Structure 1
């Protein structure tokens, strides 16, 4: 169900009563004839998408629903359009009269919603449950940038980093957790990270590295080494090896597709992905 609704006499009680018991309701008095109302509606649509689990935008068209608008206007002291009334548990908790900037509306929401980092952490957890590691990493990273001292954020981010094989980053996060906060979740992540770190130095990788050292011009060996490194989560090392292959022969076997596949597997905005895209462009053009 959408969290943007149009208010009328039939759904008024449900939205302003029942719904406001579960989510923060933004009752938006507006006129479709007003440019200020239309501009603010764009902001509200954006916020509704961003806070879909926490708010409902309830639009009341004061032209189409004149009687209802007049009745409610007296109750809230409406003086201008647009006017935004925030309702929680069936009662008004804030009123913003006139056209507002996004920053002002966000500030008002911040008084009645969980902190931004907590919202991002919940989004990261949900994405993690849905196995969307890319989105999970993005949300958790944003939460960590807001509050780098929050232990739960550290642990969720470390968990995600372990799963996407950003092992050094995961271990650094775990190392920063005080002993009193090292609970069962911490121990589980620590064990997974330790196992993944151990796999980085597998006998197969060491043997293949020795072969590449012995035969540095054998591109097939380098391709095999890159595959082993990637499987062990050593994406940067795998990309570095593949890049040496591409420098010698841009169309060698599966080198370029493998290179691009590793980049695509990295989270959006990852610095490593950007670095190796630039390196590839440097030899393509």
Structure 2
């Protein structure tokens, strides 16, 4: 479907209804008798191609649609041709009277078009809803790197960090949320983090640690402790416990498989995953 439309009395309601928080309608008042209008139309044609996903260029030919043009001109106070009106969320957000350069129009659009970090945040949320935590973390991290002051991005990234058991990272992020941004979502995330932190030190873990202190060479107990660490989100300690087992016996039970499974569960590019692989290779080869 094209994002360049000739506006008429019959389709105006449908076209203007396509404005949203993510889409902009650029309403162009045009006359074929004006050289400046023709030049601006060429610019808008290029921008429509460049911003296909979020921009609709609606051209109103004032020579052909005189009644509609007159009605809209009165509503917006049109004084010259060409004039470009930007609409978002069903309302005008900017007006550019007179001939505009491509750079001037771009600057006006960029104030209102979704920014790259916004698109990444939406991708992170979609991945999170689909329980694809690896992609969710990747997109949210990219968004955070672009705009590290954005509270909403930080909260979504914190939520994901809790779910992938990066609790230290989650706490560090949550501590940077300003009081003005501590809304219901923040309180929900804070409660999740507190619950996850409490689960990290379970009675089972403490009991296994005590048994290992008494039976230091018991590899089976160490594997059980590694499993308990992993279930509590303490992945670094789980990998370390398994590595100690593998150093003693590379083929002990499912230790190697568990070690590799935990690495695979870590987000793409995670430093712990890279370091753990290198440690394993050091005893494999």
TM range, smaller chain: 0.5 to 0.7
**2:165 equivalent to 1:155:** no
CA 115–205 in structure 1, closer or farther in 2 if over 3 Å, else same = same
State the partner residue of 1:208. Answer: 208
Deviations 1:46-102 (A, max 9, x none): xxxxxxx989xxxxxxxxxxxxxxxxx999559xxxx94426332489998xxxxxx
CA 108–246 in structure 1, closer or farther in 2 if over 3 Å, else same = farther
State the partner residue of 2:169. Answer: 169
What is the distance in 2 between the residues matched to 1:164 and 1:281? Answer: 25
State the partner residue of 1:16. Answer: 4
State the partner residue of 1:29. Answer: none
Q: CA deviation at 1:209?
A: 0.9
State the partner residue of 2:134. Answer: 134
What is the distance in 1 between the residues matched to 2:147 and 2:237? Answer: 31
Q: CA deviation at 1:258?
A: 0.3
State the partner residue of 2:272. Answer: 272
What is the distance in 1 between the residues matched to 2:182 and 2:41? Answer: 50
State the partner residue of 1:86. Answer: 48
- Structure 2 unaligned residues grouped into runs of 5+: 6-13, 25-37, 50-54, 60-83, 85-99
RMSD over aligned Cα atoms:
3.1
CA 150–15 in structure 1, closer or farther in 2 if over 3 Å, else same = closer
Deviations 1:88-127 (A, max 9, x none): 332489998xxxxxxxxx9999566311111111111111
TM normalised by structure 2 equals: 0.67
Deviations 1:197-253 (A, max 9, x none): 111111110110111122111100000000000000101110010000011111100
Q: CA deviation at 1:269?
A: 0.7
TM normalised by structure 1 equals: 0.67
Runs of 4+ off more than 4 Å: 18-23, 73-78, 91-96, 106-112
- Structure 1 unaligned residues grouped into runs of 5+: 1-10, 24-52, 56-72, 97-105
**2:198 equivalent to 1:198:** yes
- Give aligned pairs, total: 215
